[in-house]
Amino acid sequence: MTLNGIDISHWQTTDASKNVNYDFMICKATEGTGFVDNTCASHMANAKAKGKLRGVYHFANAHKNPGQAGAIREADFFLKNVAGYIGDAVLILDWEADSVKQGPQWAKWWLDHVYAKTGIRPWFYTYRAALASSYSILTDYPLWLAAYGSNAVGGYRPGSATGSYAPWKTITCFQYGSNGQLPGYSQRLDLDVFYGDAATWNKLAGKDSAAPPPPVAPPSNQYVNVAAKLPVIDLSNPASVVQGKDVTTLQGLLLANWEGPAGLVGGNQFPDGVAGASTRAALIAFQEHTGLDPDGKVGPATWAKLLNQ
């Protein structure tokens, strides 16, 4: 069995994750030790509301942070920013551009550190030209390979990965084009095929719960109301502390939409999945700023504003 998917980042608007039909979506979360993709939270919320499988990736800057210490700094930066998705989304290292010149040992340090911290084997993404026998030290980690061939404009074309992917004996995911044209989004998209079913994906993500139901395509050309499908989060009680993955999504969207004082979601200014006084203050400020009732409750109206619907 195979699944069709897309991979996106801040270069694509949230219409891609909201309106396009896909079985899985992978989005950029971080890069180096200082860049957080400010569209990731919205993309992830859209995919969750659609009941789709999800993944998050880190774009390596090995040339800027060389050595084992640099790899660990980047891995920890990634883990800090995707903490709310661990156990739910596959974790991935994006290995390309100048980082490739550092050789596979840096990538192994990063992958090993993430595995040691989470107990989940992250995927390794790269393109065919980067592969060499020296990459055999990474073959314990699932391979997501890019190789475009003709790179024709069009829709999904799932099939077997063409060409060699040695030293790996099997391939987990194949990115076969960057000229995808899919209903619901006017721009080009990267297209991918995953070799497995939803249960296999969830196992690779470290997810303990049962696989989600098979994805259902939204009616053609109809708006998908993501906000109405997200849960209500009640932060109206100043004495309460609310935790969970939905809080991580809320915090990420507040950071993407509201420019307030430092420490809105904790001392490190990154989503931590724990909503206390600082998150409550940021939410109420956002509600006031956007003309909503500043009641400290995140219902459909507030989710819609956060998602720019």
In a domain, 211, yes or no: no
Question: For residue 290, what are its two tokens?
Answer: 């956007």
Q: Quick check: 214 and 198 in contact, CB under 8 A?
A: yes
One domain for residues 266 and 142:
no
- pTM for this prediction: 0.71
One domain for residues 134 and 34:
yes
One domain for residues 200 and 268:
no
Q: Which domain holds residue 176?
A: 2-205
What does the alpha-carbon distance between residue 29 and residue 8 come to, in Å, rounded to a whole number? 10
Q: Quick check: 185 and 25 in contact, CB under 8 A?
A: no
Question: For residue 58, what are its two tokens?
Answer: 């880190």
One domain for residues 186 and 260:
no
One domain for residues 78 and 135:
yes
pLDDT tens across the length of the chain (309 residues): 999 999 999 999 889 999 999 999 999 999 999 999 999 999 999 999 999 999 999 999 999 999 999 999 999 999 999 999 999 999 999 999 999 999 999 999 999 999 999 999 999 999 999 999 999 999 999 999 999 888 889 999 988 787 889 999 999 999 999 999 999 999 999 999 999 999 999 999 998 643 344 444 443 333 346 667 788 888 888 777 788 878 878 877 777 665 444 444 454 445 777 887 878 888 887 887 788 888 988 888 888 888 765
One domain for residues 15 and 137:
yes
Torsion region of 103: left, alpha or beta (phi above 0 gives left; psi -120 to 50 gives alpha)? left
One domain for residues 181 and 272:
no
One domain for residues 257 and 162:
no
Q: Quick check: 106 and 66 in contact, CB under 8 A?
A: yes
Question: Of 26, 60, 31, 59, nearest to 43 (Cα)?
Answer: 26
One domain for residues 195 and 240:
no
In a domain, 218, yes or no: no
One domain for residues 43 and 192:
yes
